[in-house]
Structure 1
Amino acid sequence: MELERISVTIDRCSKTYADGTRGLQPTSLQVEPGEVLALLGPSGCGKTTLLRLIAGLESPDQGSRILFGDQDVTQRPVEQRGVGMVFQSYALFPQMTVAANIGYGLRIRGVSPQQEQRTVGELIELTRLTGLQSKRPGELSGGQRQRVALARAVAVGPRVLLLDEPLAALDAKLKQSLREELADLLRRLNITAIHVTHDQQEAMAIADRLAVMRAGQIVQVGGGEDLYRQPSHPFVAEFLGRVNRLQRSAQAIAEQVLLLGDARIACPSGLGQAALLVRPEDIQVGAPQAGWGMARIEQRTFLGDRVQLKLRVDGQPEAILADVLRDAPFHTGDAVGIHIAPQALMPASEATP
C-alpha cells in the first residue's frame, strides 16, 4: 500500500483559550516527509494542544499557519485534512472483527467492497495480523490491538499519522516490547508521523527526532542521542535521563574549575554557573590516584545491568550518584577515587543573554 509522504510545517502557531490561558506559545516546527517526530514533555507542557491543532480538533490563534506539504490547512476542518489518529485507548469497535475494524473508514467513504478487501488484506500482511482477520478486539493481545488501530488509521490513506500517548495505559514490561514493535511498524508504513508522549525512552526508541516541550514552548529539537549528550537547555538535560547537580563557589567559578573533593577539574569556557550537571554514567570511579577526587561510598545498589553508587564528596552538599559496571569491586564504606571528564559537564541554569 502506497502512502503519501509529505512535510508538516508549523509556523508561529499558538493557542489561547477563552479564559485567557495560553495553551501554546508561538511555535514553529518542521516535520520532514516520512519522518517520525515525537512531541515530548511533562503533563501540561502543550504537546497535546499542538497535536490537536495539527489535527484540526482545535483552532489556533490568528496569525498561526499549518501546512501539509505546500497546502495551507490552518482553516480546514479535521475531516478535510487527511489525518489518521491513534489514541491511548485504541478505540476499536468491540463487536467488529479485525478486518471490519480496519476497513471501517473505507466503508463509510463508499469504497467498493473489492477495494476495501484489497486494502485490508495489504494492511493485515503489513502489520503482521495474518490469521487474525476474524478475531475480535477482546481476543487480541495489547500489541495486536495496537496494530489493528494503526492499520485502521492508515487504511484511508492519510497524509499525516498522529499518535496521542498510544502506549501510556500499558504496564512497563508490555510497553517496552510494544514500543519496539511500534517503531518497526512506523518505518514499514513509511508515513509522516507525529507522536505525543511524556516517556523519554519511548520517544527515543520510536522517533527520528524529538521536540522537547516545556510551558507551552519547544525548548530543543534534535535526534535523541544528540539531545541526551548535547542538550542546549538545562531542562532538556534533566528531562532526558538522570543528572547530578554539582555546586561551585565564587572562587571556583572565577578560576574556571570544579572542586571535586581535593581535585580541581578544569571547566570548558562558557560554564560560568554556580551549579553544573553531570550524568551518573559520566562519573569515573576507581582506585584513588593522582588528579582524582576522593569520595566515600554511602550506598551500593545492584540494578542488574549496572551498579549504582551513592557517593559522599567533600565540598558537595548532596550525595552524587555514579553508575559503574555490575562487576565493579566497590562496597559501602569504601574510599574511592572519582573523576569527571570536562566535556561531560553541562550548565545547570540558562545562559544569560
Structure 2
Amino acid sequence: MQTKQMIQQKRKIIVSCENLKFGYSSKQPILNGISLNLYQGESTVLFGKSGSGKTTLLRCISGYSKLDSGKLIVNNLLETEDLRVLPSANENSQYAHKIAQFWKQMQTQKRTKWSWWDYLFRGTRSLNGYMVFADGSNALPQLTVEENLYLVLATICYDPELRRKTTKLLLKLTGLTEVSQHKPSALSSGQLRRLCLAQGLGINPGLLILDEPTNGLDFSTKGSFLAFLGFLRQTVGITVLSVTHDLEAALFLADRLLLFRDGQIVKEIFVDKPHPRKLQDIDTPEYTSLRRILTDFLQ
C-alpha cells in the first residue's frame, strides 16, 4: 500500500492551476481562486454537491471556458521538462489536443436535433480539445462503433493501415469488438460509456477528464464500468481528473480527493488504498471513516 509520503515523493506535476477565477458576472463568481496541481499517473477526484462549480473547473482546465484570471501551467507533454503557460481558452494549443473530456448527459442542449454535418464539424474542430459525451451523443449516430473510432483516429493519423489496427486494438481494449458493427443507439448505457472512453483514448490523452462518469448508471452497470476504468489505469497508466457527487465512485477512483464547496477546494484527502479496487469493498469497515467524511460533507 502506498502511503501519503510515498505518493508525494513519486509525483511529477503535469498541470498546475494558480488562483483560477471564473464567473458569469462580477456578482456571480463560480470559481473563487482555485489553486491545485495534477500529477502524472494519479487519479484526482473533485467531490462535492451539484452546482458547486466542479464542472466549470473542468471546462477551464480543458480550455473550453475562458478564465477571468489565473494561470494554467502545463507540462510540455513532449517528454521535455519545460513548463509553459497556456491561454486558458486556447482550443488550438498543443496541450489541448492531449485532453479527452468525458461529459455527462447533455440532452438539454438538444444535440439530437443537430444535423450530421454539425456532428462532423464539431468532431473535427474539437480535435485540439476532444470532448466526449457520456450519453454517446458525441458519436455520429449514422456510423457504427468501429466507424466512429476510425473517424476519430483519422483526425490524428494519416496511415489507413495504422488506423485500422489501432481501431481493432481500441475495440478489444474496451470490450466492444462484438458490437463493433452496431450503431450507438443499439448500445447499452455501459457500452456507450466505453465507446466514449475509446474515442478519448484514441487521441492518446495526457489527461483524461471525467465529468460525473457514473451518472444515471444502476449499481451493476456502475460496478462494471468503474472496474473497467480501474483496468485502464492499470494497463494504460493514464492520468485522470474526475468530478462526481457519487460517494462510491469517488472512493473507487481516487488516489486523492479534493473536497469542493462554493467554488473552492476546502480539503485534500489521500485515499491510501491499493488498486485494483472493487466497488463492494467501499462498504467494508476499511472505508468507514472516509465514507463518514464524504457523507457529512454532502450534508
Q: How does the TM-score come out when normalised to structure 2?
A: 0.70
Q: Which has the higher helix share?
A: 2
- Contact 1:40 1:211 (C-alpha < 8 Å) held by counterparts: yes
Q: How does the TM-score come out when normalised to structure 1?
A: 0.60
CA-based RMSD: 2.7
Q: Is 1:61 matched with 2:107?
A: no
Query: Which one has the largest radius of gyration?
Result: 1
Number of aligned positions between the proteins: 234
Given the alignment, which residue of 74, 85, 90 partners 1:72? 85
Question: Which amino acid letter does the alignment assign opposite residue 182 of structure 1?
Answer: L
Given the alignment, which residue of 61, 71, 85 partners 2:101? 85
- Tell me how far 1:201 sits from its aligned partner: 0.9
Q: 3-state DSSP class of the match of 1:157?
A: coil
- Contact 2:13 2:40 (C-alpha < 8 Å) held by counterparts: yes
- Cα distance in structure 2, aligned partners of 1:168 and 1:236: 18
The structure-2 alpha-carbon separation of the partners of 1:218 and 1:236, relative to structure 1 and needing over 3 Å to count, comes to farther
Q: 3-state DSSP class of the match of 2:72?
A: strand
Task: Identify the residue that residue 229 of structure 1 maps to in structure 2.
Answer: 289
Q: 3-state DSSP class of the match of 2:181?
A: coil
The structure whose RCO (Cα within 8 Å, separation 6+) is larger is 2
- Tell me how far 1:163 sits from its aligned partner: 1.1
Q: Is 1:124 matched with 2:200?
A: no
- Cα distance in structure 2, aligned partners of 1:6 and 1:140: 37
Structure 2 alignment gaps of length 5 or more: 1-11, 76-82, 105-134, 274-286
Question: Which amino acid letter does the alignment assign opposite residue 136 of structure 2?
Answer: Y
Q: 3-state DSSP class of the match of 1:78?
A: coil
Question: Which amino acid letter does the alignment assign opposite residue 202 of structure 2?
Answer: A
Which residues of 2 match residues 84-123 of structure 1 at below 5 A? 84-88=100-104, 89-91=135-137, 92-109=139-156, 111-123=158-170
Identity score, percent: 31
Q: Is 1:32 matched with 2:48?
A: no
- Tell me how far 1:38 sits from its aligned partner: 1.1
Q: Which has the higher strand share?
A: 1
- Tell me how far 1:6 sits from its aligned partner: 6.8
After superposition, what is the alpha-carbon deviation per residue over 1:166-217, rounded to whole angstroms, capped at 9, x for unaligned? 2212234422332222232233231111111111111111222111101111
Q: Is 1:18 matched with 2:25?
A: yes
- Cα distance in structure 2, aligned partners of 1:185 and 1:237: 28
Given the alignment, which residue of 244, 253, 257 partners 1:197? 244
- Cα distance in structure 1, aligned partners of 2:225 and 2:295: 26
Greater Cα offset, 188-197 or 172-181: 172-181
- Cα distance in structure 2, aligned partners of 1:183 and 1:202: 11
- Tell me how far 1:228 sits from its aligned partner: 6.6
Given the alignment, which residue of 42, 50, 68 partners 2:49? 42
- Cα distance in structure 1, aligned partners of 2:184 and 2:158: 24
After superposition, what is the alpha-carbon deviation per residue over 1:16-65, rounded to whole angstroms, capped at 9, x for unaligned? 22353110111111111011111110012111111010111111122x11
Which residues of 2 match residues 1-353 of structure 1 at below 5 A? 7-18=14-25, 20-62=27-69, 64-69=70-75, 70-75=83-88, 77-80=90-93, 81-82=96-97, 83-88=99-104, 89-91=135-137, 92-109=139-156, 111-224=158-271, 229=289, 236=294, 238-239=296-297
